[in-house]
Structure 1
Protein backbone atom coordinates (compact mmCIF):
# COMPACT_ATOMS: atom_id res chain seq x y z
CA UNK A 1 0.00 0.00 0.00
CA UNK A 2 1.29 3.45 -0.89
CA UNK A 3 1.97 5.72 2.09
CA UNK A 4 2.53 9.47 2.52
CA UNK A 5 6.12 10.67 2.74
CA UNK A 6 5.63 11.41 6.43
CA UNK A 7 5.35 7.67 7.06
CA UNK A 8 9.07 7.64 6.32
CA UNK A 9 10.22 11.01 7.62
CA UNK A 10 8.44 10.64 10.98
CA UNK A 11 10.32 7.45 11.86
CA UNK A 12 13.49 7.69 14.01
CA UNK A 13 15.67 5.89 11.47
CA UNK A 14 19.37 6.55 10.90
CA UNK A 15 18.88 6.98 7.15
CA UNK A 16 17.69 10.56 7.66
CA UNK A 17 21.19 11.57 8.78
CA UNK A 18 22.69 10.82 5.37
CA UNK A 19 20.03 11.50 2.75
CA UNK A 20 19.09 15.15 3.23
CA UNK A 21 19.98 15.86 -0.41
CA UNK A 22 17.83 12.99 -1.75
CA UNK A 23 14.16 13.26 -2.73
CA UNK A 24 11.58 10.83 -1.37
CA UNK A 25 10.11 9.26 -4.50
CA UNK A 26 7.89 6.55 -3.00
CA UNK A 27 6.92 5.08 0.35
CA UNK A 28 5.21 1.68 0.44
CA UNK A 29 4.06 -0.67 3.19
CA UNK A 30 3.95 -4.47 3.30
CA UNK A 31 1.68 -6.29 5.75
CA UNK A 32 3.24 -8.80 8.13
CA UNK A 33 0.44 -10.10 10.38
CA UNK A 34 1.60 -11.25 13.78
CA UNK A 35 5.01 -9.62 13.48
CA UNK A 36 6.70 -8.34 16.60
CA UNK A 37 9.14 -5.47 17.17
CA UNK A 38 12.19 -7.75 16.80
CA UNK A 39 11.11 -9.52 13.62
CA UNK A 40 12.85 -7.32 11.04
CA UNK A 41 15.66 -9.92 10.54
CA UNK A 42 12.98 -12.60 10.20
CA UNK A 43 11.31 -10.60 7.43
CA UNK A 44 14.60 -10.06 5.60
CA UNK A 45 15.32 -13.79 5.75
CA UNK A 46 11.83 -14.56 4.46
CA UNK A 47 12.31 -12.14 1.56
CA UNK A 48 15.59 -13.82 0.60
CA UNK A 49 13.98 -17.25 0.79
CA UNK A 50 11.06 -16.01 -1.29
CA UNK A 51 13.31 -15.37 -4.27
CA UNK A 52 14.05 -12.37 -6.41
CA UNK A 53 12.83 -11.14 -9.76
CA UNK A 54 12.35 -14.67 -11.12
CA UNK A 55 9.40 -15.19 -8.76
CA UNK A 56 7.58 -11.98 -9.67
CA UNK A 57 4.75 -11.61 -12.14
CA UNK A 58 5.37 -11.88 -15.89
CA UNK A 59 4.58 -8.16 -16.49
CA UNK A 60 7.06 -7.13 -13.81
CA UNK A 61 9.76 -9.42 -15.21
CA UNK A 62 9.11 -8.03 -18.68
CA UNK A 63 9.50 -4.44 -17.49
CA UNK A 64 12.81 -5.20 -15.79
CA UNK A 65 14.09 -7.08 -18.85
CA UNK A 66 13.10 -4.15 -21.05
CA UNK A 67 14.82 -1.70 -18.71
CA UNK A 68 18.09 -3.64 -18.72
CA UNK A 69 17.94 -3.99 -22.51
CA UNK A 70 17.42 -0.26 -22.97
CA UNK A 71 20.17 0.42 -20.46
CA UNK A 72 22.57 -1.74 -22.43
CA UNK A 73 21.65 -0.11 -25.74
CA UNK A 74 21.80 3.46 -24.40
CA UNK A 75 24.78 3.02 -22.08
CA UNK A 76 22.82 3.94 -18.95
CA UNK A 77 24.50 1.29 -16.81
CA UNK A 78 28.13 1.62 -17.86
CA UNK A 79 30.64 1.47 -14.98
CA UNK A 80 31.53 5.13 -15.42
CA UNK A 81 27.91 6.11 -14.64
CA UNK A 82 27.75 4.29 -11.32
CA UNK A 83 28.86 4.38 -7.72
CA UNK A 84 32.37 5.64 -7.14
CA UNK A 85 32.58 7.15 -10.63
CA UNK A 86 29.64 9.42 -11.50
CA UNK A 87 28.45 9.70 -7.90
CA UNK A 88 29.97 9.35 -4.46
CA UNK A 89 28.61 6.24 -2.71
CA UNK A 90 26.31 6.90 0.21
CA UNK A 91 28.39 4.44 2.26
CA UNK A 92 31.23 6.98 2.31
CA UNK A 93 29.06 9.28 4.43
CA UNK A 94 28.57 6.73 7.18
CA UNK A 95 30.35 6.54 10.52
CA UNK A 96 32.37 3.36 10.99
CA UNK A 97 29.84 1.68 13.28
CA UNK A 98 27.34 1.73 10.41
CA UNK A 99 29.61 1.06 7.44
CA UNK A 100 30.99 -2.04 9.16
CA UNK A 101 27.53 -3.64 9.48
CA UNK A 102 27.72 -4.88 5.86
CA UNK A 103 30.30 -5.85 3.31
CA UNK A 104 29.89 -3.25 0.58
CA UNK A 105 31.14 -5.67 -2.06
CA UNK A 106 28.34 -8.18 -1.45
CA UNK A 107 25.15 -7.65 -3.46
CA UNK A 108 23.72 -11.21 -3.85
CA UNK A 109 23.47 -10.70 -7.60
CA UNK A 110 21.33 -7.60 -7.17
CA UNK A 111 22.11 -4.31 -8.95
CA UNK A 112 21.89 -2.69 -5.51
CA UNK A 113 24.90 -2.38 -3.21
CA UNK A 114 24.38 -2.68 0.57
CA UNK A 115 24.86 0.49 2.63
CA UNK A 116 24.15 -0.68 6.20
CA UNK A 117 22.04 -3.14 8.19
CA UNK A 118 20.59 -2.61 11.68
CA UNK A 119 18.03 -4.45 13.80
CA UNK A 120 15.15 -2.33 12.45
CA UNK A 121 16.33 -0.87 9.14
CA UNK A 122 18.60 -1.40 6.18
CA UNK A 123 19.63 0.56 3.12
CA UNK A 124 20.90 -0.31 -0.35
CA UNK A 125 21.97 1.98 -3.17
CA UNK A 126 22.30 2.04 -6.94
CA UNK A 127 23.58 4.57 -9.46
CA UNK A 128 23.48 4.78 -13.22
CA UNK A 129 23.10 7.46 -15.86
CA UNK A 130 19.52 8.23 -14.79
CA UNK A 131 19.62 8.40 -11.01
CA UNK A 132 21.44 7.79 -7.75
CA UNK A 133 18.90 5.83 -5.75
CA UNK A 134 18.56 4.42 -2.25
CA UNK A 135 16.12 1.70 -1.22
CA UNK A 136 15.44 1.91 2.51
CA UNK A 137 13.67 -0.87 4.38
CA UNK A 138 12.40 -0.11 7.86
CA UNK A 139 10.41 -1.88 10.57
CA UNK A 140 7.47 0.25 11.71
CA UNK A 141 4.40 0.02 13.90
CA UNK A 142 1.26 -1.01 12.03
CA UNK A 143 -2.24 0.32 12.52
CA UNK A 144 -3.29 -2.93 14.21
CA UNK A 145 -0.62 -2.53 16.88
CA UNK A 146 1.80 -5.00 15.34
CA UNK A 147 4.69 -4.29 13.01
CA UNK A 148 5.09 -4.09 9.26
CA UNK A 149 7.73 -3.45 6.62
CA UNK A 150 8.09 -0.02 5.06
CA UNK A 151 10.05 0.62 1.87
CA UNK A 152 11.15 4.10 0.87
CA UNK A 153 12.74 4.93 -2.48
CA UNK A 154 15.03 7.96 -2.26
CA UNK A 155 16.48 9.51 -5.41
CA UNK A 156 18.86 12.08 -6.82
CA UNK A 157 17.94 12.37 -10.52
CA UNK A 158 20.78 12.93 -12.97
CA UNK A 159 19.70 16.28 -14.39
CA UNK A 160 16.66 16.90 -16.55
CA UNK A 161 16.94 13.52 -18.23
CA UNK A 162 16.84 11.76 -14.88
CA UNK A 163 13.76 13.70 -13.79
CA UNK A 164 11.94 12.88 -17.04
CA UNK A 165 12.92 9.22 -16.72
CA UNK A 166 11.53 8.97 -13.18
CA UNK A 167 8.30 10.69 -14.22
CA UNK A 168 7.91 8.33 -17.18
CA UNK A 169 8.35 5.12 -15.17
CA UNK A 170 6.21 6.24 -12.20
CA UNK A 171 2.95 4.68 -13.51
CA UNK A 172 4.72 1.37 -14.15
CA UNK A 173 6.16 1.35 -10.63
CA UNK A 174 2.84 2.11 -8.97
CA UNK A 175 0.58 -0.10 -11.12
CA UNK A 176 2.82 -3.10 -11.84
CA UNK A 177 6.16 -3.28 -10.03
CA UNK A 178 5.17 -2.36 -6.47
CA UNK A 179 1.96 -4.43 -6.42
CA UNK A 180 3.96 -7.44 -7.66
CA UNK A 181 6.58 -6.80 -5.00
CA UNK A 182 3.83 -6.55 -2.38
CA UNK A 183 2.43 -9.93 -3.34
CA UNK A 184 5.90 -11.50 -3.33
CA UNK A 185 7.07 -10.10 0.01
CA UNK A 186 3.77 -10.57 1.84
CA UNK A 187 3.63 -14.15 0.57
CA UNK A 188 7.20 -14.67 1.80
CA UNK A 189 6.13 -13.54 5.27
CA UNK A 190 3.14 -15.88 5.31
CA UNK A 191 5.31 -18.81 4.20
CA UNK A 192 8.16 -18.13 6.63
CA UNK A 193 6.91 -20.75 9.10
CA UNK A 194 7.24 -23.45 6.45
CA UNK A 195 10.76 -22.31 5.65
CA UNK A 196 11.73 -22.24 9.32
CA UNK A 197 10.30 -25.71 9.89
CA UNK A 198 12.24 -27.09 6.93
CA UNK A 199 15.46 -25.52 8.19
CA UNK A 200 14.96 -26.97 11.68
CA UNK A 201 14.18 -30.40 10.23
CA UNK A 202 17.40 -30.52 8.21
CA UNK A 203 19.51 -29.26 11.12
CA UNK A 204 22.49 -26.93 11.00
CA UNK A 205 24.54 -26.67 7.82
CA UNK A 206 27.90 -28.52 7.63
CA UNK A 207 30.66 -26.62 9.36
CA UNK A 208 28.32 -24.48 11.43
CA UNK A 209 28.83 -24.22 15.15
Structure 2
Protein backbone atom coordinates (compact mmCIF):
# COMPACT_ATOMS: atom_id res chain seq x y z
CA UNK A 1 0.00 0.00 0.00
CA UNK A 2 2.09 2.90 -1.14
CA UNK A 3 1.39 6.31 0.20
CA UNK A 4 2.14 8.73 -2.60
CA UNK A 5 3.39 12.27 -2.86
CA UNK A 6 0.77 14.98 -3.39
CA UNK A 7 2.05 15.43 -6.96
CA UNK A 8 0.67 11.96 -7.84
CA UNK A 9 -2.76 13.52 -7.31
CA UNK A 10 -2.25 17.14 -8.35
CA UNK A 11 -0.61 16.34 -11.71
CA UNK A 12 -3.66 14.46 -13.00
CA UNK A 13 -6.27 16.26 -15.15
CA UNK A 14 -9.19 15.41 -12.84
CA UNK A 15 -12.39 17.42 -12.43
CA UNK A 16 -11.98 17.46 -8.65
CA UNK A 17 -9.19 20.05 -8.98
CA UNK A 18 -11.72 22.63 -10.22
CA UNK A 19 -14.25 21.75 -7.53
CA UNK A 20 -12.04 21.52 -4.47
CA UNK A 21 -9.23 24.00 -5.04
CA UNK A 22 -9.91 25.42 -1.57
CA UNK A 23 -9.34 22.02 0.11
CA UNK A 24 -5.96 20.75 1.32
CA UNK A 25 -4.64 17.40 0.13
CA UNK A 26 -4.33 15.28 3.28
CA UNK A 27 -3.44 11.86 1.87
CA UNK A 28 -2.79 10.18 -1.49
CA UNK A 29 -2.69 6.38 -1.76
CA UNK A 30 -2.37 3.79 -4.50
CA UNK A 31 -4.16 0.42 -4.55
CA UNK A 32 -2.98 -2.52 -6.65
CA UNK A 33 -5.41 -3.81 -9.27
CA UNK A 34 -3.44 -6.39 -11.31
CA UNK A 35 -4.68 -6.86 -14.86
CA UNK A 36 -6.90 -3.76 -14.78
CA UNK A 37 -7.52 -1.90 -18.00
CA UNK A 38 -8.66 1.63 -18.85
CA UNK A 39 -12.36 0.71 -18.85
CA UNK A 40 -12.37 -1.09 -15.49
CA UNK A 41 -13.07 1.83 -13.16
CA UNK A 42 -16.82 1.04 -12.97
CA UNK A 43 -15.89 -2.59 -12.28
CA UNK A 44 -13.64 -1.46 -9.42
CA UNK A 45 -16.35 0.76 -7.96
CA UNK A 46 -18.80 -2.16 -8.08
CA UNK A 47 -16.25 -4.38 -6.33
CA UNK A 48 -15.76 -1.75 -3.60
CA UNK A 49 -19.51 -1.49 -3.05
CA UNK A 50 -19.79 -5.27 -2.83
CA UNK A 51 -16.94 -5.36 -0.30
CA UNK A 52 -18.86 -2.97 1.96
CA UNK A 53 -17.87 0.15 3.85
CA UNK A 54 -16.55 0.63 7.37
CA UNK A 55 -19.04 -1.87 8.86
CA UNK A 56 -17.37 -4.70 6.90
CA UNK A 57 -13.84 -3.84 8.03
CA UNK A 58 -11.83 -5.82 10.56
CA UNK A 59 -12.67 -5.27 14.22
CA UNK A 60 -9.97 -2.63 15.00
CA UNK A 61 -11.32 -0.36 12.25
CA UNK A 62 -14.94 -1.00 13.24
CA UNK A 63 -13.99 -0.21 16.84
CA UNK A 64 -12.31 3.09 15.87
CA UNK A 65 -15.32 4.13 13.78
CA UNK A 66 -17.72 3.15 16.58
CA UNK A 67 -15.75 5.25 19.09
CA UNK A 68 -15.62 8.17 16.65
CA UNK A 69 -19.38 8.08 15.95
CA UNK A 70 -20.16 7.74 19.69
CA UNK A 71 -17.98 10.75 20.51
CA UNK A 72 -19.57 12.64 17.64
CA UNK A 73 -23.04 11.89 18.99
CA UNK A 74 -22.13 12.87 22.54
CA UNK A 75 -20.38 16.10 21.54
CA UNK A 76 -22.73 17.08 18.72
CA UNK A 77 -20.08 16.84 15.99
CA UNK A 78 -22.33 15.06 13.51
CA UNK A 79 -25.68 16.82 13.84
CA UNK A 80 -27.41 17.44 10.52
CA UNK A 81 -27.10 21.19 11.16
CA UNK A 82 -23.30 20.97 10.75
CA UNK A 83 -23.31 18.67 7.71
CA UNK A 84 -23.32 19.03 3.95
CA UNK A 85 -26.14 21.31 2.82
CA UNK A 86 -26.22 23.07 6.19
CA UNK A 87 -22.86 24.25 7.56
CA UNK A 88 -21.26 23.82 4.14
CA UNK A 89 -22.61 23.61 0.60
CA UNK A 90 -22.17 20.34 -1.25
CA UNK A 91 -19.48 20.16 -3.90
CA UNK A 92 -22.32 19.03 -6.21
CA UNK A 93 -23.30 22.71 -6.30
CA UNK A 94 -19.95 23.46 -7.97
CA UNK A 95 -20.35 20.86 -10.74
CA UNK A 96 -20.92 21.87 -14.35
CA UNK A 97 -24.66 21.63 -15.07
CA UNK A 98 -24.37 18.61 -17.39
CA UNK A 99 -22.58 16.55 -14.72
CA UNK A 100 -24.83 17.85 -11.93
CA UNK A 101 -27.87 16.66 -13.91
CA UNK A 102 -26.47 13.11 -14.03
CA UNK A 103 -26.74 10.67 -11.15
CA UNK A 104 -23.92 11.22 -8.64
CA UNK A 105 -23.68 7.48 -8.06
CA UNK A 106 -25.37 5.32 -5.45
CA UNK A 107 -25.33 6.10 -1.73
CA UNK A 108 -25.37 3.54 1.03
CA UNK A 109 -26.47 4.00 4.65
CA UNK A 110 -23.34 2.10 5.76
CA UNK A 111 -21.10 4.66 4.06
CA UNK A 112 -20.98 8.06 5.77
CA UNK A 113 -19.51 9.79 2.70
CA UNK A 114 -22.17 10.74 0.15
CA UNK A 115 -21.75 10.74 -3.62
CA UNK A 116 -20.79 13.98 -5.36
CA UNK A 117 -20.15 12.56 -8.86
CA UNK A 118 -19.10 9.42 -10.67
CA UNK A 119 -17.45 9.57 -14.09
CA UNK A 120 -15.60 7.06 -16.30
CA UNK A 121 -12.22 7.60 -14.60
CA UNK A 122 -12.95 9.35 -11.30
CA UNK A 123 -15.50 9.70 -8.52
CA UNK A 124 -15.86 11.83 -5.41
CA UNK A 125 -17.73 11.48 -2.13
CA UNK A 126 -18.01 14.00 0.69
CA UNK A 127 -18.83 14.38 4.35
CA UNK A 128 -19.06 17.42 6.59
CA UNK A 129 -19.40 17.69 10.33
CA UNK A 130 -18.30 20.06 13.07
CA UNK A 131 -14.63 19.16 12.53
CA UNK A 132 -14.10 19.19 8.75
CA UNK A 133 -15.55 19.11 5.27
CA UNK A 134 -13.79 16.18 3.63
CA UNK A 135 -13.74 14.65 0.18
CA UNK A 136 -12.61 11.17 -0.83
CA UNK A 137 -11.56 11.27 -4.46
CA UNK A 138 -11.01 8.05 -6.39
CA UNK A 139 -9.19 8.14 -9.69
CA UNK A 140 -8.24 5.50 -12.26
CA UNK A 141 -4.77 5.85 -13.72
CA UNK A 142 -2.20 3.80 -15.61
CA UNK A 143 0.40 2.55 -13.13
CA UNK A 144 4.11 2.09 -13.67
CA UNK A 145 3.68 -1.56 -14.74
CA UNK A 146 1.12 -0.65 -17.42
CA UNK A 147 -1.94 -1.91 -15.53
CA UNK A 148 -4.46 0.60 -14.32
CA UNK A 149 -4.70 1.19 -10.58
CA UNK A 150 -6.93 2.95 -8.12
CA UNK A 151 -5.72 6.16 -6.56
CA UNK A 152 -7.41 7.70 -3.53
CA UNK A 153 -6.91 11.25 -2.37
CA UNK A 154 -8.38 12.58 0.84
CA UNK A 155 -9.03 16.32 0.70
CA UNK A 156 -9.98 18.33 3.76
CA UNK A 157 -11.13 21.75 4.76
CA UNK A 158 -10.79 21.85 8.56
CA UNK A 159 -13.40 23.80 10.51
CA UNK A 160 -11.04 26.25 12.24
CA UNK A 161 -8.45 25.35 14.86
CA UNK A 162 -10.64 22.55 16.22
CA UNK A 163 -10.74 20.85 12.81
CA UNK A 164 -6.95 21.15 12.42
CA UNK A 165 -6.43 19.68 15.90
CA UNK A 166 -8.88 16.86 15.13
CA UNK A 167 -7.07 15.95 11.89
CA UNK A 168 -3.71 15.89 13.70
CA UNK A 169 -5.15 13.70 16.48
CA UNK A 170 -6.56 11.06 14.12
CA UNK A 171 -3.53 10.90 11.79
CA UNK A 172 -1.77 8.02 13.62
CA UNK A 173 -4.97 5.95 13.60
CA UNK A 174 -5.45 6.57 9.87
CA UNK A 175 -1.88 5.61 8.95
CA UNK A 176 -1.42 2.66 11.32
CA UNK A 177 -4.88 1.05 11.33
CA UNK A 178 -7.46 2.47 8.92
CA UNK A 179 -5.50 2.80 5.67
CA UNK A 180 -3.72 -0.58 5.92
CA UNK A 181 -7.08 -2.30 6.56
CA UNK A 182 -8.74 -0.32 3.77
CA UNK A 183 -5.95 -1.33 1.39
CA UNK A 184 -6.37 -5.02 2.21
CA UNK A 185 -10.16 -4.77 1.79
CA UNK A 186 -9.99 -2.88 -1.52
CA UNK A 187 -7.24 -5.00 -3.05
CA UNK A 188 -9.13 -8.17 -2.01
CA UNK A 189 -12.28 -6.69 -3.58
CA UNK A 190 -10.45 -6.33 -6.89
CA UNK A 191 -8.91 -9.81 -6.68
CA UNK A 192 -12.26 -11.35 -5.76
CA UNK A 193 -13.96 -9.64 -8.65
CA UNK A 194 -11.60 -11.28 -11.12
CA UNK A 195 -12.40 -14.86 -10.06
TM-score, with length taken from structure 2: 0.96
Structure 1 residue 80: Cα displacement: 0.8
- Structure 2 match to 1:9: 10
Structure 1 residue 143: Cα displacement: 1.3
CA contact (8 A) 2:104 2:118 kept: no
Structure 1 residue 49: Cα displacement: 1.3
- Structure 1 match to 2:170: 169
Q: Please list, as runs of the form range in 1=range in 2, the aligned pairs for 1:103-142 lying within 5 A after superposition.
A: 103=104, 107-109=107-109, 110-142=111-143
Query: CA-to-partner distance for each residue in 1:132-162, whole Å, 9 max, x for gaps?
Result: 0111000011111111000000000000000
Secondary structure of the 1:191 match is helix
Secondary structure of the 1:133 match is strand
Structure 1: gaps spanning 5 or more residues:
195-209
- Structure 1 match to 2:158: 157
Structure 1 residue 103: Cα displacement: 4.6
Residue 78 in 1 paired to residue 79 in 2?
yes
Q: Please list, as runs of the form range in 1=range in 2, the aligned pairs for 1:61-72 lying within 5 A after superposition.
A: 61-72=62-73
Structure index of larger Rg: 1
The whole-number CA distance in structure 1 between the counterparts of 2:138 and 2:101 is: 18
Query: CA-to-partner distance for each residue in 1:139-190, whole Å, 9 max, x for gaps?
Result: 0111111110000000000000000000000010011001000000000000
Structure 2: gaps spanning 5 or more residues:
none
CA RMSD of aligned residues (A): 1.2
TM-score, with length taken from structure 1: 0.89
How many residue pairs match? The answer is 193
- Structure 2 match to 1:203: none
Structure 1 residue 25: Cα displacement: 0.4
The whole-number CA distance in structure 2 between the counterparts of 1:158 and 1:179 is: 27
